[in-house]
Amino acid sequence: MRVVRARGEGAFAGAALASLAGALAARPDLALTLPTGGTPQGLYRELAAAQRRGAVSLERATVFMLDEYLDLAAYPEGSFLAYLREHLGEVVFNDATRFIPLEPSDDPARLAAYDRALDEAGGLDLAVVGVGRNGHVGFNEPHSPLAARTRVVELSEDTLEANFPGVDRARRPRRAVTVGLADLVGARAVLMLIAGEGKAGVARRLLLEGGPDPSVPATHLLGHRSLTVVVEASLLD
Ligand code: GLP
């Protein structure tokens, strides 16, 4: 495991970009996941700037969505698809990059089709993941099975509080679809990004204690043979 302790948003985004750019330079036709949330926003700004100056390109890559809410009344409003369009724009949504959407559907045939697309790509070359306060990756909540693939999950109260602060319970989605731990653990490389409010506990659990623990799903990635963790250094102070 390679751990990069980056202090401050600029350093964090720069370290994450350096790792992603290195992977793309080694293999421009990567199949990868890109996460949502607050954590990668700086990375995506840097990535857009780097792509504009020709330093990096996702044009030969295949981007898989990591997760998506179900039951959003005004889909795509508030969805992860909308997030990715907003934060990645031309970097991914252009004529060249292959983008594989994870549709907000609980139809088993559609979920199986997503797994088939992952298999046809030869699995993930790079799983870029954020980490939830409770240690979830994608929407693999605590006690998700290691063998799980793309499926519907019930969101935990912790996650709903973190992602929908101040939003009426009735207006929060209760379910999501997510790529499973099997695909993330099975990726050829993993880039884990840890930053943000309320993450000190999970950062310390992952980086100072280690060891797999089903109640903290991100710990399943700790033994990965090619894991890079970029962590906001102040979380470990
Ligand atoms: C969400 C997403 C994850 C993301 C995590 C962390 O619930 N399902 O893919 O990594 O939360 O979000 P943030 O970066 O906003 O803390």
Cβ atoms of 176 and 156 closer than 8 Å: no
Q: CA–CA separation, 210 vs 193, rounded Å?
A: 16
120 noted as active-site residue: no
Q: How far is the CA of 27 from the centre of ligand 1 (A)?
A: 26
Bond prior to 76 in cis (omega within 30° of 0): yes
Q: Which amino acid is at 88?
A: L
Radius of gyration of the chain (CA): 17
Could you report the per-residue pLDDT of 91-137, keeping only the tens digit for each?
Answer: 999 999 999 999 999 999 999 999 999 999 999 999 999 999 999 99
Look over the chain and give the mean of its residue pLDDT values, rounded to a whole number: 96
Q: Which tokens go with 138? A: 């994608």
Q: Which of 46, 68, 125, 141 is catalytic?
A: 141
Query: Ligand 1 site: residues with CB under 6 angstroms?
Result: 35-39, 66-67, 130, 132, 138-139, 159, 163, 196
Nearest CA to ligand 1 atom 6: 132
The answer, yes or no, to whether residue 197 has pLDDT greater than 90, is yes
Give the model's confidence band at 170: pLDDT under 50 very low, under 70 low, under 90 confident, else very high.
confident
Nearest CA to ligand 1 atom 4: 130
Q: CA–CA separation, 192 vs 221, rounded Å?
A: 9
Q: What is the pLDDT of residue 158?
A: 86
CATH of the domain at 132: 3.40.50.1360
Q: What is the pLDDT of residue 67?
A: 98
Could you report the per-residue pLDDT of 50-92, keeping only the tens digit for each?
Answer: 999 999 999 999 999 999 999 998 999 999 999 999 999 999 9
Range of the domain at 167: 2-236
Q: pTM higher than 0.85, yes or no?
A: yes
* Total structural domains within the chain: 1
Q: Which tokens go with 123? A: 């699995």
Could you report the per-residue pLDDT of 133-165, keeping only the tens digit for each?
Answer: 999 999 999 999 999 999 999 998 888 998 999
Q: How far is the CA of 131 from the centre of ligand 1 (A)?
A: 6
Choose among 8, 21, 24: nearest CA to 61. Answer: 24
Q: What is the pLDDT of residue 169?
A: 86
Cβ atoms of 65 and 103 closer than 8 Å: no
Q: Which tokens go with 24? A: 């793309």
